[in-house]
Amino acid sequence: MALLGKNPEMTIPPRAGIGLRAEHFDDILEHRPDIGWVEAHSENYFGLGATSLNNNGGSKPFEYLERVRHLYPVSLHGVGLSVGSTDPLNQQHLKNLKHLIDRIEPGLVSEHLSWGSVNDRYFNDLLPMPYTEESLDHMVQRINEVQEFLGRQILIENVSSYLEYKVSTIPEWEFVTELSQRAGCAVLLDVNNVYVNAMNHGFNAERFIESIPVESVKEIHLAGHTVKEIDGGVIRLDTHDHLVCDEVWELYRLAVNRFGAVPAMIEWDKDLPKLDVLVAEANRADAIRESQLPVSRTGKLTSEVGRERIA
């Protein structure tokens, strides 16, 4: 195994990146596509053997991630911490995540505004929270606990949902805003999830985006979804197996205007296409951002670049 040096400095640039999937490992390392960064699902790289004979080793996926990490900035995106669960936080899961963060030194670390386990039974899915004061207090306390343990700020992502609870009293966008302000976490705004929920639950997607404080959003997700007919009704499922739809691109344009140059990411998890397709989607996100904002490819505002030249 080749020894890699210290990780290069890590900031996620305000460009578009893609989700790193095992099927694309070799392609990315060989072709080094022109993308700003990659996002890895934290749990796929937990095989670090913290108690093993070799603290420097890692699983086969981890060794790939280490190599990719030397070519691109990396963000870590968790799907299994079950932040909203009423079970105690899983300390082993947290330790595994911390260990991975220490080794990879990611630019951003994110989790979901959801729960996925109760009574120690895991569903390995992103289940919706009710939007109540009790739920808000609980999430604030849990995110505080996670951020304290990790010693860093995390981002929390809004999820797609296929139901609303009758007990909910707070609109989702107000819940997200309150949560970020009270827990001191940032927002990972999934524009596709906003659209899916707006269509599934009948609210105005633009209102959602316009309600989120500008400074809180540090990353944007873009993905494709599936339209399904059930019992004569239409429901949108967050399947991550399609191109981003036109309506979501339009919302992204709105989000760029509101939140400025924020890193965006193309998520694709099922029926994975060739790497080129993901790269083309990322390029499209870059083109939209550039058309809306005066930003250079390095991510610096052109006005700042101009000022540097004058100075």
Partner 1 sequence: MNALRELQQGFARSVNGDTDEVYAQTVCDAGLSGARRLGIYQHGVAIGFRDALGGVFEVIKKLVGDDYFAHVAESYIQTHPSTSGNVHDFGENFPEYLETFQGLETLPYLPDVARLEWAYHSAFHSPMGEMLNISKLAQVPESQQNQLTLLLSPACYLLRSNFPVLRIWQVNQDDYEGDELVDLEEGGVELAIVREGKQIAFHSLSPGAFAMLEAISFGETFNVSCEAALNIDPDCDVGEILQDAVMNRIVGGFSVKGKA
Binding footprint of partner 1 on the chain (CB under 8 A): 1, 43-44, 46-49, 52-54, 57-62, 79-82, 85-86, 90, 93, 96, 115-125, 127, 130, 132, 134-135, 138, 162-167, 201-202, 230-231, 233, 235, 237
Q: Tokens 């494709």 belong to which residue?
A: 224
CB of 202 to partner 1, least distance (A): 7
Of 124, 112, 137, nearest to 189 by C-alpha is 112
CB of 295 to partner 1, least distance (A): 37
CB of 112 to partner 1, least distance (A): 11
Nearer to partner 1, 135 or 193 (CB): 135
CB 237 within 8 Å of CB 200: no
What distance in Å separates the CA atoms of residue 224 and residue 237, rounded to the nearest whole number? 9
Q: Tokens 């499922």 belong to which residue?
A: 237
CB of 121 to partner 1, least distance (A): 4
Identify the burial level of 253 via C-beta atoms within 10 angstroms of its C-beta, where 0-12 means exposed, 13-18 middle and 19 or more buried: middle
What distance in Å separates the CA atoms of residue 16 and residue 38, rounded to the nearest whole number? 9
Nearer to partner 1, 94 or 280 (CB): 94
CB of 145 to partner 1, least distance (A): 14
Tell how far CA 213 is from the center of its chain. 18
How is residue 75 written in tokens?
């963000």
Nearer to partner 1, 123 or 297 (CB): 123
Nearer to partner 1, 250 or 269 (CB): 269
Q: Position 274: which residue type?
A: K
Nearer to partner 1, 12 or 129 (CB): 129
